[in-house]
Amino acid sequence: MNDQKIADLIVPRFLKYVCFDTESNRDTPETPSTLGQWELAKVLYDELLALGLTDIKLTENCYVIARLPASKGKENERCIGFLAHLDTASDVCGSNVKPQLVKNYNGEKIELMYGLSLDPAKEPGLAEQKGKAIIHSDGTTLLGADNKAGIAEIIAAVEYFVSNPQIERRPIEIIFTPDEETGKGLPCFPIQEIKSTFCFTVDGGPIGEIECECFNAYKANIEFLGKVIHVGHARGILANAALMASAFAALLPRAESPEATDGYYGYYCLMEIAGDLEKANIEIFLRDFETEGMERRLSALEAFAKTIEAQFPGGKVIVKTQPQYYNMKAKIDENPDVLEWLKKAVQKTGIEWHLKPIRGGTDGARLTELGIPTPNIFTGGRNFHSRLEWVSVSEMCAACRVIIELIKTEG
């Protein structure tokens, strides 16, 4: 199947999916955290049903799990799964998305709303799309390629096999999950129902990127309890909780922030700060590829807390931390077959590939931790979580071809 036919399967779906407001909410404990994820999940359920799949389930926590059986003679091949997440990040508005399809990009700067622009002089990946099709946000919202590009690519691959029953295929599972962006996409995941030996998340960036290692991730919620009195009589008595929180945030090393690091360097990221004289709270994300590095960061938070208590007599700082996911590299190294299988499939498409660490995490990290090795495949998207988000249609087609080869490849 040529790229134009694959694009005809992917693009209309993607343009439809991004119009669903599935922005997740990390402050909501329920799974899913937003109703829009339910709406998209139900649409995907119906689409898979319309394609002829009968083994489909939409769970009480908004996980879509479906299976496409093997072709005749392939029933005993190992089942593999493909994952993508329903939600978009809350960093930028994900409501009322207006995707812009450019069928023949002219290679020039694209002006967006709010004075923003996509500039090929600053983005080599964009310059490479000259003469090709791209889809971008209008600048008022994110686009939602993270991860609706992955959803569209997976379902397009399913339709390819349904429409071509003569092509041999192994059994596959299709899994769509809620709340990946909040770091709590899999706590309610029905792992006991999964039949796949290996899985692959379709949640990466530019063409050719394969990812099999990610950050160790922790979240810290830090509470500041002040000591309050009328500010006119505050000398020697007041401990200002809001100021305590600000002072704590100022102790976070600027050289170890997201904007100051790349590659294998971890970071502290202040996500939220709120409070008043009596009580304040901050939320911090901690990321590190190494266990020792994460232990250092966790210890540093405790040391910062003692420093703030010493600076604000009468005030108290309570540090609460919890893991979100772990680096999947060790588990995947224990199962080298999965990476070799993926490399073989990518090579069959003729795509040049390279390994790259994920400066973040995917549901694949949690699934790997639960015993199902799950590396990550590119989607063709760029500038995730921003108003400058865009996706290459030709690279979306390439990702779909990799999925198709994985389903066909012996392994």
Active site residues: 87, 180
Structural tokens at position 97: 């998305």
CB 51 within 8 A of CB 96: no
Of 314, 286, 302, 324, nearest to 248 by C-alpha is 302
Question: What does the alpha-carbon distance between residue 217 and residue 284 come to, in Å, rounded to a whole number?
Answer: 11
Q: Computed from CA positions of residues 234, 238, 242, 245, in that sequence, does the dihedral angle turn out positive or negative? A: positive
- Residue type, position 255, single letter: A
The DSSP string of 24-58 is --TT--SSSSSHHHHHHHHHHHHHHHHTT--EEEE
Q: Residue 373, Cβ neighbours under 10 Å: how many?
A: 23
CA distances from 315 to 211, 235, 281, 318, 376 (A): 44, 14, 13, 10, 45
Phi, psi values for residue 271, rounded to 5°: -95, -35
Residue indicated by tokens 């993607």 = 14
Measured CA to CA, the distance from residue 3 to residue 400 in angstroms comes to: 9
Contact 346, 253 (CB under 8 A): no
* Four-residue CA torsion sign, 85, 90, 92, 93: positive
Cα(58)–Cα(41) distance, integer angstroms: 8
Closest to 6 measured CA to CA, from 139, 145, 163, 216: 163
3-state helix, strand, coil in the chain (%, to 5): 35, 25, 45
